[in-house]
Structure formats: structure tokens, C-alpha cells
């Protein structure tokens, strides 16, 4: 499957996707992330979708930069946030020690597994102390195309190995949650919070 098919999916279905996800309750994961980050700092919302979590972080007093690979998502998120949202893929990240935390909610899962080590290195370089990264993936051990999108699924042992293999990150927590969207409560997500090693 071509990677841009996932981007095409979100461009085509941006309005519907935003309506389905804009108001879902991500408070549990956000609170865990912020407990490591502290009460202030700068966050990169990496693969921000509709901008739901960026909006929350801004309201809590954090500085936020956001990007997404989908142009249509960026337009909607930019309007929702009242600030620019960059249209960019993970492979184009060039930040150097610019952020205290990276929030990658349901976004890295669309990166092919063979490319994830390079993307994690880019995110590592983008972070400064305390250097906290949150990411979420669907629980499983496959790499698949479903409904026009690419998914890289992980089990916990695989996810820990991915994050700690190159000694760039130390996994602080790995925990399961259930999907918060109506009608999808049986879907299991694997969440990871990692800290940079320097």
C-alpha cells in the first residue's frame, strides 16, 4: 500500500473524522502525559488530526505547535485552534531541542514499521529536557491496510523494544486503554510514555 493512501483517506473524510473525534474524552492519557511534563512547557502535537488535544494543552497554558500530514485536517485544526497548523509528514521533522514534550496520539501507528526507528530519532532530536514522548497504537502484532489506511500494530514487548532499541528513549509507562469512540469500546489501544536518554 502506498503511504499517501492514508493521507488521501484523511483528506477525503476529514469532516466526518473530525466530527467523530473532536469531543472524545482523552483526559486519562493527557493527564498521564502532563504529569511527566510538568505545569508548563512547549508541546509538539505530532499528527494532530482535528486539533482536539492541542486545544486542550493551549487551554492549560502550554505553548503548542501542531502538524498533520493531511492538508484538510490541517485546515480544520487551524480554524479550531486559531493558529497555523503545519502540513508535514513525520519524515520531514527537522526540529532540534525545541520541545519539552511530544504528543503523538493515534498518529505514529500510520507509519510503516520499517520507518519508525528513523521517525523516533527525529522526535528524539526535537526534544529537550524533560523530553517526554506519548504515543498510542492499536494493540496487535500485524502491519495491515484497513479501510484505506495503513496500520502498524504492536504488542507491549514489541513496543518497548522499538522505543528502547537505539537507547534514545527509556519507557516510563506502557498501558492499555479502550477506544473512547461510541460503538468501538472493545478496541484496545496500547499507550507508551517515554523519556529521552541524554
pLDDT-based confidence at residue 154 (cuts at 50, 70, 90): very high
**Integer Cα distance of 102 and 84 in angstroms:** 17
pLDDT > 70? residue 169: yes
Let me know if residue 114 belongs to a domain.
Answer: yes
**What 3-state class would DSSP assign to 70?**
coil
**Mean predicted confidence (pLDDT) in 153-170:** 97
Kindly state the cell numbers that stand for 73.
485536517
Let me know if residue 21 belongs to a domain.
Answer: no
Let me know if residue 151 belongs to a domain.
Answer: yes
For position 1, what pLDDT does the model report?
A: 41
Structural domains of the chain, count = 1
Q: Domain span at residue 184?
A: 4-14+28-33+42-196
For position 185, what pLDDT does the model report?
A: 65
**Mean predicted confidence (pLDDT) in 5-30:** 93
User: CATH number of the domain that 82 lies in?
Assistant: 3.40.50.150
Let me know if residue 20 belongs to a domain.
Answer: no
**Mean predicted confidence (pLDDT) in 162-191:** 89
**Mean predicted confidence (pLDDT) in 22-45:** 95
Cell 503511504 -> residue:
3
DSSP string, 14-27: HHHHHHHHTT---H
Let me know if residue 130 belongs to a domain.
Answer: yes
Q: Is 76 exposed, middle or buried (0-12, 13-18, 19+ CB in 10 A)?
A: buried
Let me know if residue 22 belongs to a domain.
Answer: no
**Mean predicted confidence (pLDDT) in 29-53:** 97
**Mean predicted confidence (pLDDT) in 121-134:** 98
Let me know if residue 19 belongs to a domain.
Answer: no
**What 3-state class would DSSP assign to 50?**
coil
Let me know if residue 23 belongs to a domain.
Answer: no
Amino acid at each position: 500500500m502506498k503511504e499517501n493512501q492514508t493521507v488521501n483517506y484523511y483528506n477525503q473524510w476529514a469532516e466526518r473524522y473530525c466530527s467523530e473525534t473532536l469531543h472524545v474524552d482523552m483526559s486519562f492519557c493527557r493527564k498521564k502525559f502532563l504529569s511527566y511534563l510538568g505545569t508548563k512547557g512547549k508541546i509538539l502535537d505530532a499528527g494532530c488530526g482535528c486539533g482536539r488535544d492541542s486545544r486542550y494543552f493551549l487551554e492549560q497554558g502550554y505553548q503548542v505547535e501542531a502538524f498533520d500530514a493531511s492538508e484538510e485536517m490541517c485546515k480544520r485544526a487551524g480554524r479550531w485552534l486559531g493558529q497555523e497548523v503545519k502540513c508535514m509528514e513525520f519524515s520531514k521533522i527537522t526540529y532540534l531541542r525545541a520541545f519539552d514534550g511530544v504528543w503523538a496520539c493515534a498518529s505514529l501507528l500510520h507509519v510503516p514499521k520499517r520507518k519508525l526507528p528513523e521517525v523516533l530519532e527525529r522526535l528524539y532530536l526535537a526534544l529537550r529536557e524533560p523530553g517526554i514522548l506519548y504515543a498510542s497504537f492499536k494493540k496487535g502484532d500485524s502491519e495491515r491496510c484497513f479501510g484505506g489506511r495503513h496500520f502498524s500494530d504492536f504488542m507491549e514487548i514489541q513496543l518497548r523494544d522499538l522505543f528502547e532499541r537505539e537507547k534514545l528513549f527509556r519507557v516510563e509507562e506502557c498501558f492499555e486503554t479502550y477506544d473512547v469512540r461510541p460503538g468501538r469500546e472493545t478496541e484496545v489501544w496500547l499507550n507508551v510514555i517515554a523519556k529521552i536518554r541524554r
